Amino acid sequence: MLRQADFGDGTYQNPVLYGDYSDPDAIRVGDDYYMVSSSFSNAPAIPVLHSYDLVNWKVVNYVCRQVPEYRYVNPMHGSGVWAPAIRYHAGEYYVFFPMPDEGIYMSRTKDPRGEWSKPVNMMPGYGVIDPCPFWDEDGKAYLATAVSGARVGYKSVLKLAEMAPDGTHLLSESQIIYDGRNTENETIEGPKVYKKDGWYYIFAPAGGVKCGHQVVLRSRDIRGPYEYKVVLRQGDSIVNGPHQGAWVDTVTGEDWFLHFQDVYAGGRIVHLQPMSWRDGWPVIGVAKDGNEYGEPVTVYRKPATARQGALDAAGKTVEICEPDNSDEFESDTLGLQWQWNANAEDDWYEMIPRESAIRLRAVKTNGMRQLPDYRNLLLQKWAAPEFTCEIRMNVRDLCAGDMAGQVSMGQTFAGLAVRCAKAGTERAAGRKDESAAAASEGGRQTSAKLRYELVKITGKQEFDHQMAFAQSEESVLALDADALAAAGFDVVWKYRVQIREYADEIDRKDFQGNDVWVRHIHREDITMYMELNGKVVEGSEVKIDAKAGRWVGVKNGVFCVHKDGESAAPECGSATVDYIRYGV
């Protein structure tokens, strides 16, 4: 395991998920807990995680095989699926999710591990986000939402509309039920609606993602008016802006709260806080010195769940686990840790379980595209503050114009890849490579002589009015084709993340004009290089400063594309990945 949240002695440490599972929402059904999170323009969309104890989680499914709407055949950084909500009602699981450029969608199923229904755009519109359904005892249903300032120019309000009980459409216009503008609750969003003892409660983060707090609104009428209290602040902890999450209970009667923390390059990681009640208001975390609000805990006892004592119903030990990361590709289906940079096509890859490998086909890409906009980047989330990743890839089957390698994807990005070209053609540096040898396959020469080069790509993305613009630089290092052939065309890619320092910075000014600081921020370096025949290829190292992407953490993975000026190339080739292994 890269990072173990469960100490195995009845206690746990936060975060319970060091992974970019942003905007988490969770429910309990029996003694099963299910969580969903944002996925933006990555596909498949909306991971479904499962746990028995709120500490150990596994990805078990996705709600959508692809992001709805055609434009997501391309990466649309910052768009796509934002904060979803999951609920269980009348024997079915419902997920409502926002796409801020398209509307609010709903999908449902009787089995969260099985197939989910085709999403229905139940509230078409622009700039509406963070939906949460609520079914009342009288049979009426409602939908709470927030507003995206990045889309419509204003924010900080929560709205409510009556909804058809089947969740397929609204029955009324949305009305503002809480306005946090020009208050400490600016940027209030992510409403989650509950009912207890005749009170309607709306849990919502406010004050900003990186440096805000948790608010709870309370009213006897679901339409308001609402009073509020701040129930969770950073306080003296290092957990900045404890943000959007979910109230869940246990069969033993305990209350807990899952939320995220934005750790910049590492993304939005998930914490678990104890929750108690005082005078009809929740207190999340542990209150100090008589405070009415709580502060995040670092180490705490595990929830008293139905599987108390770490034993399941069959008397077996509940697995101490984390979402999968390493992959030996022994299955006939792609592992659930993987997501594509855009909606995938079936012919992009082939699982080869008999060889414990995955074949990545070289997908033709427009010559104007930069690395972050390649559609077929195969990516996964960081799973620890510091880690290493080793990838073994065979490039024997690359054709002229193909390029395959590893990628680090964020606002700063990098790629390291082997590119294949016809011998004697011009290199990017303007020189001919005269040292190329014929590629061989199974001891036979191919009909055309090929040369190989190591391509190092580094760059940065900028975002302007929801559009992403990437600039990159490319350098080329000639590879000895004889040495490559002698290695059986097997290359090893190395990826390392290390914390360089901890820093403080001003995030913004509050509604009174005061500076708001974020403390103890990780600053990470990413190092990538290539090995051949067990030796580091001289000059192959790439080192960049890690920067998160558009509301997402840095991801790393592999790719294989066809991109060159040889438009008459008869075919595209492929690269085969034997394994991807993560370690500390």
> Looking at residue 447, what DSSP letter applies?
S
Task: Please give the helix or strand (H or E) that residue 156 lies within, else none.
Answer: none
Distance CA 138, CA 344 (A): 43
Look at residue 429 in the predicted model and tell me its pLDDT: 39
SS3 annotation, 322-341: CCCCCECCCCCCCCCCCEEC
257 contacts 16 by C-beta, under 8 angstroms: no
66 contacts 45 by C-beta, under 8 angstroms: yes
Active site residue 373: no
- 21's CB contacts (< 8 A; 6+ apart) are 35, 37, 47, 49, 260, 268, 269, 270, 381
Query: Tokens representing 323?
Result: 């979402």
| Residues paired with residue 361 on neighbouring β-strands, in sequence order | 574
pLDDT-based confidence at residue 571 (cuts at 50, 70, 90): confident
Over residues 181-194, the pLDDT tens digits come to 999 999 999 999 99
Task: Please give the helix or strand (H or E) that residue 516 lies within, else none.
Answer: strand 515-532
> Looking at residue 541, what DSSP letter applies?
-
Distance CA 315, CA 150 (A): 51
Radius of gyration, alpha carbons of the chain: 25
Over residues 248-290, the pLDDT tens digits come to 999 999 999 999 999 999 999 999 999 999 999 999 999 998 8
Decide the pairing of beta strands 192-196 and 175-179. unpaired
Range list of H helices, 265-414: none
Q: Within 10 A of 567 (CB to CB), how many other CB atoms are there?
A: 8
Active site residue 189: yes
Give, in degrees to the nearest 5, the angle at Cα 173 between 171 and 178: 120
Look at residue 509 in the predicted model and tell me its pLDDT: 84
Distance CA 325, CA 389 (A): 10
Query: Tokens representing 420?
Result: 């294949």
Set out the domains of the chain in order of their start, with CATH numbers: 11-310 (2.115.10.20), 339-583 (2.60.120.200)
Distance CA 463, CA 126 (A): 19
Least confident range from 9-18, 90-99, 131-140, 416-425: namely: 416-425
Distance CA 20, CA 382 (A): 7
Look at residue 568 in the predicted model and tell me its pLDDT: 46
| Selection from 340, 308, 257, 295 nearest residue 75 by Cα | 340
Whether 416 has a pLDDT exceeding 70, the answer reads yes
**Span 465-494, mean pLDDT?**
93
Burial of 89 (0-12, 13-18, 19+ CB in 10 A): middle
Look at residue 308 in the predicted model and tell me its pLDDT: 57
**Span 443-451, mean pLDDT?**
57
Provide the b/e sequence for 141-178 (b: ≥16 CB within 10 Å): bbbbbbbbeebeeebbbbbbbbbeeebeebeeebeebb
Distance CA 458, CA 557 (A): 15
Q: In the chain, what percentage of residues exceed pLDDT 90?
A: 85
**Span 321-332, mean pLDDT?**
97
Least confident range from 2-6, 40-44, 231-235, 448-452: namely: 448-452
Query: Tokens representing 48?
Result: 């479904």
Over residues 32-76, the pLDDT tens digits come to 999 999 999 999 999 999 999 999 999 999 999 999 999 999 999
Look at residue 250 in the predicted model and tell me its pLDDT: 96
Burial of 261 (0-12, 13-18, 19+ CB in 10 A): buried
- The dihedrals phi and psi of 452, each to the nearest 5 degrees, come to -130, 145
SS3 annotation, 15-66: CCECCCCCCCEEEEECCEEEEECCCECCECEEEEEEECCCCCCEEEEEEECC
90 contacts 123 by C-beta, under 8 angstroms: no
35 contacts 88 by C-beta, under 8 angstroms: no
**Span 303-313, mean pLDDT?**
64
DSSP symbols for 111-152: -TTSPPPPPEEEEE-SSEEEEEEEE-TTS-EEEEEEE-HHHH
pLDDT-based confidence at residue 507 (cuts at 50, 70, 90): confident
Mean per-residue pLDDT of the chain: 92
pLDDT-based confidence at residue 246 (cuts at 50, 70, 90): very high
**Span 437-447, mean pLDDT?**
39
Distance of CA 237 to the CA centre of its chain: 25
Look at residue 74 in the predicted model and tell me its pLDDT: 96
Provide the b/e sequence for 61-79 (b: ≥16 CB within 10 Å): bbbbebbbbeebebbbbbb
Task: Determine which one of 20, 69, 130, 189 is catalytic.
Answer: 189
Whether 436 has a pLDDT exceeding 80, the answer reads no
Look at residue 565 in the predicted model and tell me its pLDDT: 58
Over residues 89-109, the pLDDT tens digits come to 999 999 999 999 999 999 999
| Selection from 284, 221, 218 nearest residue 248 by Cα | 284
Task: Determine which one of 6, 20, 23, 524 is catalytic.
Answer: 23
Q: In the chain, what percentage of residues exceed pLDDT 70?
A: 93
Whether 438 has a pLDDT exceeding 70, the answer reads no
pLDDT-based confidence at residue 508 (cuts at 50, 70, 90): confident
Give, in degrees to the nearest 5, the angle at Cα 564 between 561 and 569: 90
Least confident range from 18-22, 529-533, 567-571: namely: 567-571
Least confident range from 37-41, 181-185, 330-334, 466-470: namely: 466-470
51 contacts 102 by C-beta, under 8 angstroms: no
Whether 316 has a pLDDT exceeding 60, the answer reads no
